[in-house]
Structure 1
Amino acid sequence: MNIAYYDAEQVERLLDYPGCIAAVRRAMRSLSESGKAQPLRQIVRIADKTMFGVMPGDLAAIGSFGAKLVSVAEDPARPGRARHRGVVVAYAADSAEVEAIADAEAVTAIRTACATAAATDALARPDARVLAIFGAGTQAETHIRALRHVRAFDRILLWGRSADSIAALAARLSRDLGIAVEATTDGQRAAGTADVICTVSGSAEPILFGAWVRKGTHVNLVGSSMLGPVEVDSALVAAGRYIADYRPGALAQASELAVARDAGLVTDDHVVGEIGEVFAGTLAGRESPGQITLYKSLGHVVQDLAATAYLHRRALSEGITP
């Protein structure tokens, strides 16, 4: 049996942003419409700074099942930051054979941003023009690259604690993308100016506060994917129309929601539904121009399977032999 393997370089070349946005949008709609319970992400702590994550599941819409297997450990080249090393293993449902394996770090970086872009397209105001990114790592870059495909942003603000790091990233993205990316260490100013905000830092403590966010803003909560790290305060959680990627996952593993719930500010009913329902038209997304909308991205393996299937099809159509 010949199993296709795609390394990080091949993933980055084949997994284009517009195609991946469409693929994850279809995957999330299928997830919500299927009504089939999916296993939640399992995290095993190996050492103080090393975790092992297992994300199994299936996506009937494309006849695929499989899992993402990743280690999360500190990156020696970037002290204080982590890398996700591993693979996405996609099986063909009809034969139950492994069809493709892809570098998980590259897939995750792109598909997460594309899922955010799809959600933003559905939930942000049509006239949104200012984007603020809170964080300065890989997800900050991929989110800027992805979100420009769903809104015509004329201003992009990049927030981080290190002025030097964000200035360097902003300058590179401005040059590479031909758009103005402005670095700032003033989170309140960035949030108060933005129409769309993405938190992609993985911060242990809130970096974005409800008092900073204007009415009508759409906020994507992305950086915390397990109980523990909390990127935004409970006031913002309580103020927004809260839509999850996968509701059972959010109820069990969304840290900001858990903190607000433990404080008695919200209940499980605060999670009004899933983004796939919004895509399908069975759940209202934004209900009014002045409403604050929240999309909680924990990440789901159907996004990985859909992205891997898409890049595998592209490779086959282009005659690429991995």
Structure 2
Amino acid sequence: MAGVANISAEEVAELLSIDELISVIERGLANYSEGEEGGMLQPYRSIVQVVNPGPEFGFFGSMPFYNSKENILACKVGSFYPFNLKHDKPVHNSSILLYDPVYGGLQAIVDGVVITERRTPAASAVAAKYLVEDRSKPVKLALLGAGTQARSHFQALKCIFNISKVCVWSRTMESAIKCAEEINGEACNTAEKAVENADIIVTVTLSQTPVLQKTWVKLGAIILAVGGSGPDSQEVDPELVKSSVVYTDSKKIALMECGDIIKADAEIYAEIGEVVNGTKPVKRGPTTLFKMAGMQMEDAVSAKLVFDTYRAKKEPS
């Protein structure tokens, strides 16, 4: 293990520029949607359920990834323990292992928590960049959810858009107020009020029942459905999903794992990477929805960016 870089969450936070990350994720999404020509091998994740005494449980997964085009060999390992919220412990814990693709040696262990916090909104920002018709206009942003992903989505979208107003809703008003104060937004006591006249709506909850209803959403709005985990999750009214033009980062994963897609029996128009690489034209509907499935490619290219920046800083000038 000599010579292996161990890059902590604090170092990742310092090294990972959101502007650079958005560009890297954009290129990764385009490569992914090119199939074999994109140079990627991304086997389906392997997951085991961890059963603890009582009703609580967790999941542990491993997600290998290789891209010959970008020279990346990596594996994300991580856990998801939904009951940790009530124990004031992290729901997600993960690391990304980076290997030398030529000789196979382990090069770095990169903390995955900050990467997950930032790569997810970076992918959403890429989607919004292509799906919003006129990026020069000020936008009203609505955040349904007030956790880490709500804050990081605000920061990422701010890199692309002139956000004139941001409204925050959470199941507890205390959380909404805290988040709103941090991002200079407005806390709302109902989700309906938060999304009123919003141009971009971000759902970042762990809900299994819809928190966003079709009748609340204005025509032309862009919905970034990010939260939820697994086929039982659901944040968006299925009627809203079905009436929207739907995009995702990975059709394969979305059709197997995303409850918003599965429960609505929705048709996916395109992967956002197909729009980025020009194989599919942008198509908008009365509303347009991007469902974030999440995949190890996004973690791997983010970890590679961190490692490259880390090495550049360590090299003598």
Task: Give the structure-1-normalised TM-score.
Answer: 0.89
Per-residue deviation, residues 9-60 of structure 1 (Å, max 9, x unmatched): 0011111110111111111111111336632233322023321122222223
Distance (whole Å) between structure 1 residues aligned to residue 169 and residue 194 of structure 2: 7
Structure 1 residue matching 2:113: 3-state secondary structure: helix
Corresponding residue for residue 58 of structure 1: 66
| Shift in CA distance, 80/242, structure 1 to aligned 2, threshold 3 Å | farther
Residues 119-130 of structure 1 mapped to structure 2, 5 A cutoff: 119-126=127-134, 127=137, 129-130=139-140
Corresponding residue for residue 156 of structure 1: 166
The one of 89, 96, 118 equivalent to 1:88 is: 96
Residues 180-219 of structure 1 mapped to structure 2, 5 A cutoff: 181-219=185-223
Distance (whole Å) between structure 1 residues aligned to residue 82 and residue 41 of structure 2: 32
Distance (whole Å) between structure 2 residues aligned to residue 259 and residue 285 of structure 1: 25
2:243 is aligned with 1:246: no
**AA aligned opposite 1:148:** K
Corresponding residue for residue 24 of structure 1: 25
| Shift in CA distance, 17/95, structure 1 to aligned 2, threshold 3 Å | same
Distance (whole Å) between structure 2 residues aligned to residue 123 and residue 88 of structure 1: 30
2:269 is aligned with 1:272: yes
2:135 is aligned with 1:135: no
Corresponding residue for residue 301 of structure 2: 306
Structure 2 residue matching 1:257: 3-state secondary structure: helix
The one of 181, 192, 207 equivalent to 1:171 is: 181
Distance (whole Å) between structure 1 residues aligned to residue 263 and residue 84 of structure 2: 31
**AA aligned opposite 1:49:** F
Unaligned runs of 5+ in 1: 175-180
Question: 8 Å contact 2:41–2:65 — kept in the other structure?
Answer: no
Q: How many equivalent pairs are there?
A: 306
Corresponding residue for residue 232 of structure 2: 228
Structure 1 residue matching 2:269: 3-state secondary structure: strand
Corresponding residue for residue 106 of structure 1: 114
**AA aligned opposite 2:61:** G
Alignment RMSD (CA, Å): 2.0
Question: 8 Å contact 1:29–1:277 — kept in the other structure?
Answer: yes
Alpha-carbon offset, residue 156 of structure 1: 0.7
Alpha-carbon offset, residue 184 of structure 1: 1.0
Unaligned runs of 5+ in 2: none
**AA aligned opposite 1:282:** T
Identity %: 28
Per-residue deviation, residues 186-228 of structure 1 (Å, max 9, x unmatched): 2112223210011111111110111211111111111023211
Distance (whole Å) between structure 1 residues aligned to residue 86 and residue 8 of structure 2: 21
Alpha-carbon offset, residue 256 of structure 1: 1.0
**AA aligned opposite 1:129:** V
Corresponding residue for residue 177 of structure 1: none
